[in-house]
Structure 1
Amino acid sequence: MRIPAILAGAAVALSSPALADNHQSDDAQMENALNLESVLLHPRRAEDRSRDDARNPAETLAFFGVEPGMTVVDYMPAGGWYSRVLIPYLGEEGTYIGLNPELHPSLTGYWDMYRNATTRIPSDAAEWVGDDGAQVIGLNTDDDLEAHAGTADMVLVFREMHNMRRFGWTHDSMMAFRTLLKDGGMVGVVQHRAKEDAPVDYAMGQNGYQRQEDVIRLFAIYGFDLVSASEINANPADPADWEGGVWSLPPSYRGAPEGSEERARRAEIGESDRMTLLFRKVD
C-alpha cells in the first residue's frame, strides 16, 4: 500500500463538498486520515489489500466525506470488501446499514447472499470484523424502513448501478435511499464507466459499464443533485468496450486463459475505468 496516498486523503478531504459544509478542522481531518490508515493496514484486510491501488479506498472515502460517527448505508455489501473498511472506521459512535435489493425468486446461487439481510448482514459483519466498530443493521429494500427513515448521513453505491438497472432494482433502491437519508443527505457512487459515445444497448447494465451522464440523469429523476465528480478511480487505459463486459478485465479475466498473452495484456491495463460521483438529496 502507498502510505503517502493514504495520508494524502486528508488533503483530498479538505476539498470534499460533503466536508466543506461541516467546517471540520485540519487537525480533525488529519486524525480521521490516520484512523482510516490504521483500518486499511489491519491484518484482517491482508487479502483485500491487493485491490487498494485500483479501488483507492482512502481517497474515495475522503472525497465522499465519510467520517467516524456517521450513519452510512452500504448498498449491496456482497463479500464485505468495503464493509471491512467502513464498519471499523465509523467507530462505536457510528452505524453501518447494509442494504440489499429485493430479489426475484429466480435469482439463486450467488445471489442468495443478498437475501434475509436483517440476519445475514449482522452475522457476516461479525465474521468480517468481530465486534470492532459501528453498530450493524441489515435491511432489504422491501422491508419496513420507517424505523430507520431519515437517519442516514450517506448512502454508498460501489459498482452496483449496472445491477440495479439490469435486474430492475432501480426504483425500489432509489426510493429506499430517499427514505433512509436525512434531508440533504449524500450519495456516493463509484461505477464502471462506459465511453460517452457508447451505444445505449451496450450501457444498459448487462456489460457492467454505465455512461456517466446516464447515471447523473437517473439520480436527477429521483431527486438527487450532482454535487461533484472526481477522477480518483479513473483508468484511461480501459477501452471500456469489451465484448465480455467489464469482467474481461482483472480480477475476472473473462475470455483470457491463465498464462495467455491476452491475459497479460489485460493485466497491464488493470481494472476498469470508473466514475466517482457525489450527490445530495433534495426536496
Structure 2
Amino acid sequence: MNKPTPLLCACLLGVSALLSSAAVEARDSAAASAQVQVPASLQAAVDASTRTPANVARDVYRHPAQTLAFFGLQPGQTVVEITPGGGWYSEILAPYLRDGGKYVAAVVDPAALPAGGGRDYQQRSRDGLAKKFSESPALFDKAVEVAYDPAAPVLGAPNSADLVLTFRNVHNWRSSGQAEGMFGAFFAVLKPGGTLGVVEHRAKADVPAEDKSGYVGQAQVIAMAEAAGFKLDASSEVNANPRDTKDHPNGVWTLPPSNNHAAADAGKYTAIGESDRMTLRFVKP
C-alpha cells in the first residue's frame, strides 16, 4: 500500500481539525442552551393559568422560558416586541413587565399602507391585539402600542429600550425589501448595551431575498444585524428542530401551526413539529 504524501496528510489533518472544530462548536452551543437558567419569576409567567391553552400547547416547540431567559429578559426592562400578531408572547411579556417594566407592542400602522389586502390584514391584526388587551385589563392595562410605518419604521424614542424582540418575522421583511430599515430601527430604539433577540426559521444555507419558503440563512440574519451596527453576542440551539427537512411544498407554512398541507399528510408533519429556528442574541455597542 502506498504511503500518503505529506500534502495529503496535511489536507487530512486540516479536514480533521475542521470537523473537530465544528463538533466542539455544536457541543458548546448545545451546552449553552442546556445551561440557560430560567428565573422563577419568568417561569411563573410562562406557567400562568391566564395564558390561552392553545398557546401553551406550542411551548413544546417554542420554549418561551428558555428563549426569553437566553435573551436576558428582566422584570424592570423596557421591552419592544415587533409585530406581536395574536399576542402569543404578549401573554407572557405584558404581565411579567407590568409592575416594574414596560411592554411595548410595535404593530404595523395600517394607514401607512396602500389600500388593499395588505392594509386590511394589518388592520385585522391590530384590532385583534387591541381586543385581546382590552378584554384582560389585569394583564394588559399597562401595555403600550406603537404603530410604525414599515417603509420608515420608528419604534419609540431613541435609546429608550433595553430589549427588542422579533419572532419569525425576518423572512417577511427580506421579501418586502424592508429588512435593512427594520434592523436600523431596532438599533435606534435600543439603549447602548441593549439587546436584540431574534428567532427565525433557519434555512440550510443562504436564500435569495425573493425566496418564498419562509426560511432564512443564519449567516444572512447575522449579516443584516451587523450591518445595522449590532454585535453578535451569542447563539442558542434551544429552538432547533433537526427533524425539519426544510423542503416542504408550502415552505414553513406546511408545518404546524399553519398546517398548510393535505389532510392525508397530517401525521407526517405533526411528527416533524414546528420549524427549525435560529435563536440569536445581539448587543448594541
Task: Output the TM-score relative to the length of structure 2.
Answer: 0.78
> Which aligned pairs between 1:10-29 and structure 2 lie closer than 5 A?
11-13=35-37
Q: Indicate yes or no: 2:56 matched with 1:49.
A: yes
Question: 1:206: how far off?
Answer: 2.2
Mark the CA change 1:10 to 1:254 in structure 2 (over 3 Å): closer, same or farther: closer
Q: After TM superposition, list the pairs within 5 Å mapping 1:143-158 onto structure 2.
A: 145=154, 148-158=157-167
Shift of 1:147: 6.2
- Paired residues of 1:192 and 1:275 also in contact (CA < 8 A): yes
Verify: 1:70 aligned to 2:94, yes or no: no
In the alignment, the residues of structure 2 paired with residue 64 and residue 280 of structure 1 have an alpha-carbon distance, to the nearest angstrom, of 10
Residue correspondence of structure 1 range 122-133 to structure 2 within 5 A: 124-127=132-135, 129-132=136-139
Q: Is 1:246 the equivalent of 2:252? A: yes
Q: RMSD of the alignment, in Å? A: 2.6
Which residue of the other structure, out of 229, 240, 256, is the alignment partner of 1:223?
Answer: 229
Q: 2:240 aligns with which of 234, 244, 249?
A: 234
Distance, in Å, in 2 between the alignment partners of 1:70 and 1:85 is 14
Deviations 1:21-49 (A, max 9, x none): xxxxxxxx7xxx22222222222212211
CA distance in 2, matches of 1:172, 1:49: 33
How big is each residue's C-alpha offset from its partner over 1:225-252, in whole Å with a ceiling of 9 and x where there is no partner? 1110000000000001222110001122
Whether the 8 Å CA contact 2:179–2:224 is kept in 1: the answer is: no
In structure 1, the partner of 2:92 is: 85
Q: For 1:132, what is the secondary structure of its paired residue?
A: helix
Per the alignment, residue 100 of structure 1 pairs with 107
CA offsets, 1:78-100, max 9 Å, x none?
10000000011123111111112
Query: What are the within-5 Å matches in structure 2 for residues 115-126 of structure 1?
Result: 124-126=132-134
Task: Provide the C-alpha distance between the structure 2 equivalents of 1:10 and 1:194, rounded to a whole number of angstroms.
Answer: 23
Superposition pairs of residues 188-203 of structure 1, within 5 angstroms? 188-196=197-205, 200-201=207-208
Aligned position for 2:29:
none
Q: Which position in structure 1 is the counterpart of 2:9?
A: none
- CA displacement at 1:70 relative to structure 2: 0.5
Measure how far apart 1:121 and its partner are.
5.6
Residue 204 of structure 1, CA deviation: 4.2
Structure 1 residues 10, 88: CA separation in 2 closer, same or farther (over 3 Å shift)? farther
1:275 to 272, 278, 281: 278
Deviation at 1:168, TM superposition (A): 2.8
Does the 8 Å CA contact 1:191/1:209 hold for their aligned counterparts? Answer: yes
SS, match of residue 138 in structure 2: coil
- Between 67-76 and 87-96, report the one with greater CA deviation: 87-96
**Structure 2 residue 56 is matched with structure 1 residue 36:** no
Return closer, same or farther for 1:176/1:275 CA change in 2, 3 Å cut-off. same
Task: Please report how far the alpha carbon of residue 122 of structure 1 lies from its aligned counterpart in structure 2 after TM superposition.
Answer: 5.8
Please, which of 166, 172, 175 is the counterpart of residue 166 of structure 1?
Answer: 175
Q: Secondary structure at the match of 2:247?
A: coil
SS of aligned partner of 1:12: coil
Are positions 1:187 and 2:196 aligned together? yes
Q: Does residue 135 of the first structure (1) align with residue 155 of the second (2)?
A: no
Say if 1:94 and 1:135, in contact at 8 Å, map to a contact too: no
- Equivalent position SS for 2:139: coil
Shift in CA distance, 10/130, structure 1 to aligned 2, threshold 3 Å: farther
In 1: Cα distance, 2:83 partner to 2:211 partner:
16
Please list every run of 5 or more consecutive structure 2 residues that lacks an aligned counterpart in the other structure: 1-32
Amino acid corresponding to residue 97 of structure 1 in structure 2: V
Where do 5+ consecutive residues of structure 1 fail to align? 1-8, 14-28
State the partner residue of 2:21: none
Structure 1 residue 165: Cα displacement: 1.3
